[in-house]
Amino acid sequence: MCTDKKSFRAVITGKGGVGKTTLTSCLATVLALDGINVLAVDEDPQMNLPYALGLGVERASNIVPLNLNSDYIEEKTGINPTRNSWGSMFKLNPDVDDVVERFGMKVADNLNLLVMGTVKQAGGGCLCAENVLLDSTIRHLALRENEGILLDTQAGVEHFGRALSRGFSHCLIVADDTFNALTVACHSADLARQIGIPNVCLVVNRASDRTADKLARFETETGKTLSGLFETLYLLPVEPRLADLEPEVTRIMDNRNSGYAASVAALAARLCTTHCSCSSAPAA
């Protein structure tokens, strides 16, 4: 698959319910199988990525997200968030070089998981120790070498308000072919470029034989040109078998007859290169 196994940093974002976590877990799985060192990072407060990756209910439910690990927050910032620390001084740039080694969980060969939790307020309105720790952690991840980082974000565009993915090389904006999802995707593309992400790709999930017409209609109604907003458009075909595999949806990657699996594998191959040129794939 990948002939140029360089490190990359990809943030996966989009409207809620469009399949971000499924895509993140499937990309992580196929990349790891190809020998890439992958760190999948769950920044969604729903914390569904561990289930999607197949950790199992018992193991996944016992995970304490980083933003609730009060001992580590106190160690790094000087503030324990479980105590009344309003107005106290704390470190604004904590050293988190050890965060992956201490809290990363091995899922499979070449595949580790880090569960972040999320900031408590969008747009930078809360300067608290938990938020400072999360900010520092994600910015540290952007500097790690010889590794592929996949950051599964919470739904919407709030995470762009804190510029958490500044320094990432790719932004995969996931949508379906509905008007609302595409509107969020276009707004996300603009925000991704504002923080300097060079490769912005639109991934249209659950694509069907009607998708091309719906995308054209969206462009007509909004006056937006998708080819001008995104480097590339990538289509993932409808895959009804995912519902039967849930929550461990990564098992779809074992199905040689799945158009979805083939399309995800093709997208994963493109992530391994320095410049993302995610080739368009036809809808099933």
Q: What does DSSP assign to residue 154?
A: P
CA–CA separation, 61 vs 50, rounded Å? Answer: 9
pLDDT in tens, the chain (284 residues): 444 455 788 999 999 899 999 999 999 999 999 999 999 999 887 889 999 999 988 888 888 888 888 888 888 888 777 765 555 666 677 788 888 888 888 999 999 999 987 655 443 445 577 777 777 787 777 667 778 899 998 877 666 655 567 778 899 999 999 999 999 999 999 999 998 899 999 999 999 999 999 999 999 999 999 999 999 999 999 999 999 999 999 999 999 999 999 999 999 988 776 544 333 443 33
Reported pTM: 0.84
CA angle (175, 29, 231) in 5-degree steps: 40
Closest CA to 201 of 211, 213, 189, 190: 189
By three-state DSSP, how is residue 188 classified?
A: helix
Contact 147, 157 (CB under 8 A): no
